[in-house]
């Protein structure tokens, strides 16, 4: 009997001691849907450079990422690094916003229930309209705007009950990195659904933010496009994390060359 992805442990590859699954959109979507259909608690996130560096620097985030079932390479620099160090030959990254669309396409075929957790009321309303228009067979069974703080134990229990009582197959979480990764990790075996930490996907698909042109995404310059849209909020993030990413990559290349000599 052939095992389903739900029963298999997918291969992981480490970048700076942070695990990534070197997989395609099709495989990720299959795993999400398989778990959603049996309402098994399952977590997925897509980490770009900012998420990777944050996980490396903060133990709470690192521990959360280790708990999550699938961590996809969001961003070309992550894909390039995995291909370089492990010769994975990944042809595409697996980004949060694009993954949302591919999961919704499959959910639309199957008539699945989804729950939207995070962001603002305005964004959730606009995102709901987008989903209802593009994916009419998908049932939105709940919305929960972000408190922009961590829930109290009592509030968290209420949130868990609200989501489980909605009979959601899939929960999309748009709380921003790393809050969404911590949330997903903390709710494994509590939420009876597939959970996807998707970051800015809420804003993109709600029409709040514009996605970068395809050529910028392919060239690894998506961060620059986002920086131009939100310079005050993002300049420090990209200055620090991009610089550290380059530093750590060079350090790993040096270690690799040194080990090859020995």
Question: How do the pLDDT tens digits run along the chain, 262 residues long?
Answer: 234 555 456 789 999 999 999 999 999 999 999 999 999 999 999 999 999 999 999 999 999 999 999 999 998 999 999 999 999 999 999 999 999 999 999 999 999 999 999 999 999 999 999 999 999 999 999 999 999 999 999 999 999 999 999 999 999 999 999 999 999 999 999 999 999 999 899 999 999 988 888 888 888 888 888 888 888 888 888 889 999 999 999 999 988 777 777 6
Asked if residue 223 belongs to a domain, the reply is no
Asked if residue 217 belongs to a domain, the reply is no
Asked if residue 230 belongs to a domain, the reply is no
Asked if residue 228 belongs to a domain, the reply is no
Rounded Cα distance between 94 and 28, Å, is 9
Q: How far is CA 66 from the centre of its chain?
A: 13
Total-model pTM: 0.91
- Write the CB contacts of 164 (distance below 8 Å, at least 6 apart in sequence): 191, 192, 193
pLDDT of residue 4: 57
Asked if residue 246 belongs to a domain, the reply is no
Is the backbone peptide bond immediately before 186 cis, with ω within 30 degrees of 0? Answer: no
Domain count, the chain: 1
Answer yes or no: are the C-beta atoms of 203 and 61 closer than 8 Å.
no
pLDDT of residue 235: 81
Query: In which domain, by residue range, is 70 found?
Result: 13-209
DSSP state of 198: -
pLDDT of residue 9: 61
| Tokens 């993002």 belong to residue | 234
pLDDT of residue 27: 96
Rounded Cα distance between 166 and 162, Å, is 6
pLDDT of residue 8: 53
Asked if residue 240 belongs to a domain, the reply is no
Asked if residue 86 belongs to a domain, the reply is yes
pLDDT of residue 6: 53
Q: How far is CA 255 from the centre of its chain?
A: 30
Asked if residue 70 belongs to a domain, the reply is yes
Domain with residue 98: its CATH number is 3.40.50
User: How much is the CA Rg of the chain, to the nearest whole Å?
Assistant: 18
List of long-range contacts for 32-36, beta carbons under 8 Å, 24+ apart: 32/103, 32/170, 32/194, 32/196, 33/103, 33/106, 33/107, 33/110, 33/112, 33/194, 34/4, 34/5, 34/6, 35/6, 35/194, 36/107, 36/112, 36/169, 36/170, 36/193, 36/194
């Amino acid at each position: 009997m052939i095992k389903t992805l739900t029963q298999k442990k997918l291969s992981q590859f480490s970048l700076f001691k942070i695990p990534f699954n070197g997989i395609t959109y099709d495989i990720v979507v299959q795993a999400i849907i398989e778990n959603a259909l049996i309402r098994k608690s399952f977590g997925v996130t897509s980490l770009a450079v900012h998420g990777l560096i944050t996980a490396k620097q903060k133990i709470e985030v690192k521990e959360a990422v280790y708990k999550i079932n699938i961590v996809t390479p969001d961003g070309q620099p992550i894909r390039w690094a995995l291909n370089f160090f492990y010769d994975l030959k990944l042809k595409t990254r697996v980004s949060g916003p694009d993954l949302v669309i591919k999961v919704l396409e499959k959910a639309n075929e199957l008539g699945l229930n989804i729950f939207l957790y995070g962001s603002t009321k305005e964004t959730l309303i606009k995102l709901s309209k987008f989903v209802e228009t593009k994916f009419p067979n998908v049932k939105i069974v709940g919305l929960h705007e972000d408190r922009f703080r961590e829930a109290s134990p009592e509030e968290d229990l209420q949130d868990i009950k609200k989501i489980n009582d909605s009979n959601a197959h899939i929960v999309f979480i748009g709380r921003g990195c790393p809050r969404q990764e911590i949330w997903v990790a903390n709710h494994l075996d509590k939420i009876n659904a597939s959970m996807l930490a998707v970051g800015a996907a809420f804003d993109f698909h709600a029409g709040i933010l514009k996605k970068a042109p395809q050529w910028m995404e392919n060239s690894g310059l998506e961060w620059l496009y986002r920086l131009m849209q939100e310079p005050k909020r993002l300049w420090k993030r990209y200055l620090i994390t991009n610089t550290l990413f380059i530093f750590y990559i060079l350090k790993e290349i040096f270690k690799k060359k040194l080990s090859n000599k020995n």
